[in-house]
Amino acid sequence: MMNIGKHITLACIAAAALLAPLCASAEEHGGEGGEKELAIGDIITEHIFDSYWWHITTYGERHISIYLPVIVRSDGGGWRLFSSKRLAHGETYEGFRIAEKGEKYEGKVVGVNAAGEVYRPWDISITKNALALMINSAIMLGIFLGVARWYRRRPKNSTPSKFVCAMEMLVMDVEEDIVRASIGKDYKRYSPYLLTAFFFILINNVMGIIPIFPGGANTTGNIAITLVLALCTLVAVNLFGNREYWREIFWPDVPLLLKAPIPLMPLIEFFGVLTKPFALMIRLLANIFAGHTVILAFTLLIFITAKLGAGINAGMTVFSIVLSLVMNCLELLVAYIQAYVFTLLSAVFIGLSRPEHHVVHKK
């Protein structure tokens, strides 16, 4: 009950936060639309993909952005650190610029070497997504270290505050219903990783739905983030897999011809080891990416129909707001479900990597 209530509250906050800035920015885009064609694709791309600065809003002709540090290694060796403001509006700084649309490495920092060739330097810039990850990680650390500190400071029979209670409920829900139910007796070893993964994804998802700074970055809809999460699951599954698990991969219970001269079944099984985390990676990415895209598309409907006259625009605005609201609520659900699914499947894969001996013999 508390969970649902919390979700509804969050949905209301998210919806209110979404509507306010979007309505404000409607005028700005509408004014622009009169002069030049609205590049829908560009707007969606700008919001969804990573960026070297964090565009907050545009007020009249003024762009309000947070410029982030660019950290690149030049061709001649040596790291360069400078603000991304120096690269804004296509400017070049110390031989670095951001590749134009249609160019190779589009949207990334590229360098031009002495021979005049364009190359992609080692680039560990703190981009919008990197900053969002740091903010979200800080939020997560704050929440859980705070809750843990509360527990350390109080005797064990005292009543937790509402927030501690809610967090405890979420943590225990994940630990009992996902981790313990899927892994079994050794679940304690894996529960910190799975809990971290669950809340990391959940917090990033929810922060992604909030449209204003420090939310709104599409972190879990970026392949680099989901790749790292999937790799961690891959490691967790295979690092402590027992003998039975490896035997089932390389010497499964199939007719000899399927595994002896040509290792057909072992190959398929080994491929399965890789496809499981791959599916996790793509699932999370696709869900969050699609959610962001759809919400943006519905919101942009207002500006697309601005040219079609006030009546149609007004009608479409109402339509768009209603649909965005519905989509945001849906995305909130998806945010939880995707965190849940990722954790549940990771736990199930880990559970499968530790088959009990007698279970195998029963088969």
Partner 1 sequence: MALLTPDFGLLFWMLFNFLIVFGVLAKFGFPVITRMVSERRDHISQSLQAAEEATKKLENVRQESLAILDEARVRQTEIIKKAIADGEQIVRSAQQKAVEETEKQLEAARRSIDLQKEKALSEINAQVALLSVDIAEKILRHRLDDREQQESFALQMAEEAENIRRKRSHKR
Which residues make up the interface to partner 1 (CB under 8 A)? 49-50, 71, 106-108, 122-127, 129-130, 133-134, 137, 140-141, 144-145, 147-148, 151-152, 156-157, 167-168, 171-172, 175, 191-193, 195-196, 200, 222-225, 227-229, 232, 285, 289
Rounded to a whole number of angstroms, the minimum distance from the CB of residue 138 to partner 1 is 9
In degrees and rounded to multiples of 5, residue 299 shows phi and psi of -65, -40
Rounded to a whole number of angstroms, the minimum distance from the CB of residue 1 to partner 1 is 19
Peptide bond into 355 cis (omega under 30): no
Which helix (H) or strand (E) segment holds residue 96: the answer is strand 96-98
Q: Please, which residues have CB within 8 angstroms of residue 298's CB and are 6 or more apart in sequence?
A: 320, 323, 324, 327
Rounded to a whole number of angstroms, the minimum distance from the CB of residue 107 to partner 1 is 7
CB 339 within 8 A of CB 216: no
Q: Which residue has the tokens 């490691």?
A: 235
Is the CB of 193 or the CB of 213 nearer to partner 1? Answer: 193
Rounded to a whole number of angstroms, the minimum distance from the CB of residue 79 to partner 1 is 12
Rounded to a whole number of angstroms, the minimum distance from the CB of residue 316 to partner 1 is 28
Q: Which residue has the tokens 């998802």?
A: 205
Rounded to a whole number of angstroms, the minimum distance from the CB of residue 97 to partner 1 is 16
Which helix (H) or strand (E) segment holds residue 4: the answer is helix 2-35
Which helix (H) or strand (E) segment holds residue 55: the answer is strand 53-59
Peptide bond into 21 cis (omega under 30): no
Alpha helix stretches (DSSP H) within 210-309: 223-239, 243-250, 264-304
Is the CB of 60 or the CB of 122 nearer to partner 1? Answer: 122
Is the CB of 22 or the CB of 229 nearer to partner 1? Answer: 229
Neighbours of 136 (CB within 10 A): 24
Is the CB of 174 or the CB of 302 nearer to partner 1? Answer: 174
Start-to-end C-alpha separation, the chain: 41
Is the CB of 285 or the CB of 301 nearer to partner 1? Answer: 285
Is the CB of 19 or the CB of 227 nearer to partner 1? Answer: 227
Tokens of 35: 């002069």
Say what angle helices 223-239 and 187-209 make with each other, to 10 degrees.
Answer: 170
Rounded to a whole number of angstroms, the minimum distance from the CB of residue 228 to partner 1 is 4
Is the CB of 9 or the CB of 158 nearer to partner 1? Answer: 158
Nearest to 123 by CA among 67, 84, 65, 66: 84
Is the CB of 222 or the CB of 313 nearer to partner 1? Answer: 222
DSSP character for 106? T
Is the CB of 201 or the CB of 325 nearer to partner 1? Answer: 201
Rounded to a whole number of angstroms, the minimum distance from the CB of residue 250 to partner 1 is 29
Residue 179 CA to residue 342 CA, distance in Å, equals: 12
CB 302 within 8 A of CB 320: yes
Rounded to a whole number of angstroms, the minimum distance from the CB of residue 112 to partner 1 is 19
